[in-house]
Each structure stands twice: as C-alpha cells, then as structure tokens.
Structure 1
Amino acid sequence: MNTRLLHDDPQGIETAAAILRAGGLVAFGTETVYGLGADAGNDRAVRAIYTAKGRPGINPLISHFASADAAFAQVEATPLARMLAGRFWPGPLTLVLPRARDCAISTIATAGLPTAAVRVPAGRTIHALLTACGFPVVAPSANPSGRVSPSDAQHVLAGLDGRIDAVLDCGPCPVGVESTIVDLSSARPVLLRPGGITLEMLEDACGMPVATMAGSDDARPSAPGQLSSHYAPGLPVRLEARSVAANEALLAFGPALPGSGLVWNLSADGDLHEAAARLFAGLRFLDMEGHRRGLVGIAVQHVPAHGMGRAIRDRLIRAASPRP
C-alpha cells in the first residue's frame, strides 16, 4: 500500500473524506495529536485500525464528531456531560457515557463495553473533514501501538507509512498530548486520562471534586491511554533525574542538568503548556539521535504534577514502564 500525503486544502480534505467513506484509513492532525481515522460504524474499517497499529483489541477507541449534537445522538448524555461539552467543546476533552440504544458506533471500536468515548475536536481542518464525512470517525493516535504519539505528519509516516491509505498534513499539533478522558457513566465523574483539559479546569467547571483512576488497567481498559506501558521510545526512560551521564540523552525542563551532549528542553522557562506541545517531538528526537550516537537511555528531569504537568507526567511514567 502506498500512503499518500494530502495537503491541508479543500481538495486534500475531500480526498481524505472519500477514503474514509470507502472504508479506508486516514491519519489527520487535531489540536492534540495526529489520529488514525476510520468510519466508526464500519466494522471492517475499525478492525483495520487495530491491525495497522498492532493495537490490542481490548483497548477501546474514541469517536470524533463535528458537533455536540452529533456526539450526544450516540450516547446517553447527562446534564453534566452537556455542561462540560458547552464549556470545553470543541476541544481536547473526551467523555465516556453509556451507549445509546441505537448507537451506530461499532462494538469493535468500544471493545464490547457498554459505554462509548466521544469528543468534538478543535481545528478548522478536522471540523471540515468530519463535516464532509457526515459520520463519526474513530481515531486513536496514528502510531504503532505503545510507541510515541505523533504530533506532526512526518511522525505518522515514520511509523505507519505503507500501512494506511493517507495522511492529511495539518501541521504541528498545538496541544501536543492526547485529550483528557472523563468517565461520566456513574454518579461521580472520574478522570481516566489527564490531557489538554486540566483536572483543575474540570473541577472548577463541575463544582465538585473529580475522582482520579489509580494506576493502569492492562486487563480491561475502559478508555485509551490506560495500559501501563505506552508512549514509549526505543531507548529506556529514567525519570526524576538529578544528574545525567555522558552516555544518556536528557529530556530537560527548566535549567538543564549538565553532563549530556544530547539535550531536548521541553521548556527552558518552565512553561507546562510549551512542555506538553514539545513532549512527543522531544522523545522522538532523543530516541532517534540517541540511537545514532550509541547512547543507552533518556534521563528525564522533574516535571511538576499540577496543571498540564499531570498529563506530561502520565505520559512519561508510561513511557518509562517495563515493556510487554
């Protein structure tokens, strides 16, 4: 299969939509990361995503919609869900809700769960693509399963060239980490994955504490991003580094530790939003260049656990976990 690189223009968007309508796979940029899209109601197309990525079938997918009304037609929306959608959609927030009786999303995409994960992404191109399709599009991150997520089109091609039909080049992703996932299927909201909408923003909107899921769930994840090993470069990752060896690359935050000849600084000024936007590109760069130089690992400086730091730390902890 030859993977086409499509331009971010009306012709490219229409070509991408036509491929999706025909049951093909198209990667595209959102405000978070690049997703690998397929028609959410087409079982064969959804299976093709799992095959292209090498993704475990127990790991559910997020369905993307052009509007909140379209999303809530597929799930049982609660007043809290509608309030959060009004506050944060379009944007990097995914809501997990019970499937509607006539839900058109493939049960393969929801991994057989009674719930579905839905969101309305932000961005001119993705909105135009979803509108042109006229159906929900499932889209996990457009990379081999478990590896570093892509934040530009070349990252997608590096991992999936020849496995998918096309990549719609939407430029770099401004948020840089995946969407926040909140489970609203029970009485109290539960944060399943931190992301572009912070816990503090959620609690302010909800007017109540939001529970957080402890640890990982490798046996039966209820949403994407819950596997213990995820977002992993080839080189091993060492967290909370207070020093760095000459044979290690350094992922810095703030003033960089001395000792490494290969450094990627997430944000020299300690800006967590800048750090999130640069995280996956930095891991990819250090991994590729570190391998070329014969380095043995990536040391990571401390990142604070508040605001966007919570999402960054979640990705780094999973990147550092033992590989399956």
Structure 2
Amino acid sequence: MDTKIYTVNDLPQAAKEIQNGNLVSFPTETVYGLGADATNEVAVKSVYAAKGRPSDNPLIVHVDSIKMVEKYAQPLSEAAKKLISTFWPGPLTIIFKLKPGSLSKAVTGGLDTAAFRNPNNKVTLELIKEAGVPIVGPSANTSGKPSPTTAQHVYHDLKGKIAGILDDGTSKFGVESTVLDMSTDTPAILRPGAVTSDDISKIIGPVLDEHHKVAKNEVPKAPGMKYKHYAPNAQVYIIDHEDDWSDALVWASKQNSPVGMMATDSRIAEFSIPDNVETFSLGQDVNSASHLLFAGLRHFDDESEVKSILTQSFDANGIGEAYMNRLNKSAGQTHFTK
C-alpha cells in the first residue's frame, strides 16, 4: 500500500479514505492517532492489525461534538457535562457507559463502555465532520513503541500499512490525553495527562487515581494499563536523583556501546559528558520534557548502536505525573542504581 502524506488542503481526500474503510493517521494536540471509522467493524479491526495491537486493548473514539457522544453513550450526568464544557476540545478522554449495541466490541475491547475525546486540533475536527462519523484513534505507532508526535514518526512505523497521514506539524503536548472513567460511582483517572487530577477535582470534586497495571486476565478500560508501552529498542534507565548522574555517567563511560542521555539543558551542562554518550535535550523543565520525551526515545531508536538510555526523572506532580507514568513504562520500571 502506498501511504500518502496529506496536508490540510487534502482533507476531503483523507475523509473519503475514512469513509471507504481505510486507515488515516491524524494529528492531535497530544500525539498522532491512527484513524478509522468507529462504526465500521472491519475498519476498526484493521487498526489492531496495522499496529500489532492486542484485541482486548480498547480504542479511544474521537468526536467533533457532545452531540456525537450522545448518539452512542447513555445519558450523560451533569458532572460529565461540566467536564466537557470545561475541557473540550482538549486532552481529556472520558469513559462512558454505552447504549446497548451502539458500538462494536472491536472498539470497546469487549466492554460495555467506551472512551471518548474531542481533540483540540482544528484539522482533525474538520476531518471528523467531513467523514461524518466518529473516528477511533489509538496512537499511530507500532504497538508498544514510543508514541508519534510528528507525521514522520508515523511514516517510520506504519508506511505501507495505512492509506495516509494527515500532517499538521509537531504535537503540542507530546504525551497522550488524561483518561477519566465516568462509568463508575466515583470517577477515576486511569491514565494521567495534561489535564491533572487537581484540574478535574475543581470541577466535579474528588477523583480516584487508578492508573495501575491491570492483571493478565483483566480487560483494561483504557489504553496503557496492561501491555508494554512507549519502549524503545534500548533499555531505558531512570535517574532518580541529581547525585546519581555522576555515577551513571561513569558507568556509561565503561560501556562497549554508545549510551544515550536524555536530560534538561542545565543538567547536561552540569557534567563532563563521556565521548561515548550522546545527549538529547529535554529542554528547560518538566513541561518541555513531557513534550520531548517520545521524540527523544524515537531519536535513540534510530541510533541502533545505542543500547542504554539514561533519562532524567521529575517530581510526579502536575504534568510531571504524566511524564513519570510514560517514563516508568518505557523503562519497565528500571531505575539506575549505584
């Protein structure tokens, strides 16, 4: 299959591909998604095949309005409507109970709930309107690998497997949306993101924090809860404390293969970097680091000689919670120790 790169001027053609049951990657403010008609079961199943994604890992449904959600979900609570009016369009995904039979089990992973999002990207909102259907959209990468934040990342992973990629530059946030479960008595955050628990609590009151890894025989309600995610080919090591960097760089200097270093500019400037260590800047702070994390992991994926990546940690507060969630998953919870 010839994978085309579409611009905003090609939007009608991209929408036609969606209507015809084909796959088109689309931009959002978080990462690039892999789009298919959410009402076309065959098309949805082809998303799993293209990504190599387990079939019990549910998909997020992207919509252009609350009206589109209400077509498939059971009546929304007042709390849900408050969240939608506050955070949509934006990086908040909300799980609702579905009207029976309204969406295929291929979308929901076999559950009676589905996750909905109204992305803050004008191009993609126009794509959904032009196609006339909700669009499923997991991250447009090979399953388990770092999520794509540019059209080039998508092309690297999925060229020849999908019809096209709608290019709208680099994603703003760089980590996926917050996932909030509103299908239970007490709302719960299943995946942290740019919309924090504090942000949500200010609107609807206290929420639970349940972004744990689910059991082998348990069906996850949101992406990223069960399977390996965000991992490059090299082993990622988390550097927990500033004092650990000296020891980590001494260790790196003794390795027979090149080592990657992902850290802020100030942290990189603080040390004498060994000749076999390649640095990747995470910018100035946790905000820029969250934006650049996946780009850095993908950078070192292209450097086949790099077998280890030393990566800076941050306090797990605010956007730092999302950053550390993704970093811990990419590292397989592996922390550098002396």
Q: In which range does the TM-score fall when normalised by the shorter chain?
A: over 0.9
> Does the 8 Å CA contact 1:228/1:321 hold for their aligned counterparts?
no
Residue 212 of structure 1: which of 209, 226, 237 is its match?
209
Q: TM-score, normalised by structure 2?
A: 0.89
Indicate the RMSD between aligned Cα atoms, in angstroms: 1.6
Moved segments of 4+, more than 6 Å = none
Identity level (%): 38
Shift of 1:102: 5.5
Residue 273 of structure 1: which of 262, 287, 309 is its match?
287
Match of 2:331 in 1: 320
Match of 1:239, SS state, is strand
Shift of 1:214: 5.0
Larger Rg: 2
Match of 2:5 in 1: 5
Q: CA separation in 1, counterparts of 2:330 and 2:85?
A: 33
Structure 1 regions of 5+ residues with no counterpart?
none
1:286 equivalent to 2:300? Answer yes
Would you say how many aligned residue pairs link Structure 1 and Structure 2? 314
Q: TM-score, normalised by structure 1?
A: 0.93
Q: CA separation in 2, counterparts of 1:227 and 1:164?
A: 25
1:86-130 deviation per Cα after TM superposition (whole angstroms, max 9, x unaligned) = 000000110011002362x22211011010101111111011101
Q: CA separation in 2, counterparts of 1:31 and 1:302?
A: 23
1:171 equivalent to 2:185? Answer no
Match of 1:237, SS state, is strand
Shift of 1:322: 7.8
Match of 2:200, SS state, is helix
Match of 1:263 in 2: 279
Shift of 1:235: 0.4
Q: CA separation in 2, counterparts of 1:214 and 1:168?
A: 31
Residue 252 of structure 1: which of 260, 263, 267 is its match?
263
Q: CA separation in 1, counterparts of 2:301 and 2:154?
A: 16
Match of 2:22 in 1: 24
Mapping for residues 72-221 of structure 1, pairs under 5 Å: 72-76=70-74, 77-101=76-100, 103=102, 105-206=103-204, 208-217=205-214, 218-219=216-217, 220-221=219-220
Shift of 1:140: 0.3
Shift of 1:199: 1.9
Mapping for residues 61-72 of structure 1, pairs under 5 Å: 61-72=59-70
Shift of 1:8: 2.1
Structure 2 regions of 5+ residues with no counterpart?
none
> Does the 8 Å CA contact 2:191/2:211 hold for their aligned counterparts?
no
Shift of 1:306: 0.6
Shift of 1:71: 1.3
> Does the 8 Å CA contact 2:300/2:306 hold for their aligned counterparts?
no
1:51-108 deviation per Cα after TM superposition (whole angstroms, max 9, x unaligned) = 00000001000000111121122112221111100000000110011002362x2221
Question: Closer, same or farther in 2 for the Cα pair 1:228/1:68, shift >3 Å?
Answer: same
Q: CA separation in 1, counterparts of 2:333 and 2:322?
A: 19
Shift of 1:209: 2.1
1:249-288 deviation per Cα after TM superposition (whole angstroms, max 9, x unaligned) = 1111352263353111212x22x22222111111111232
Q: CA separation in 2, counterparts of 1:17 and 1:201?
A: 34
Matched letter for residue 220 of structure 2:
P
> Does the 8 Å CA contact 1:148/1:231 hold for their aligned counterparts?
yes
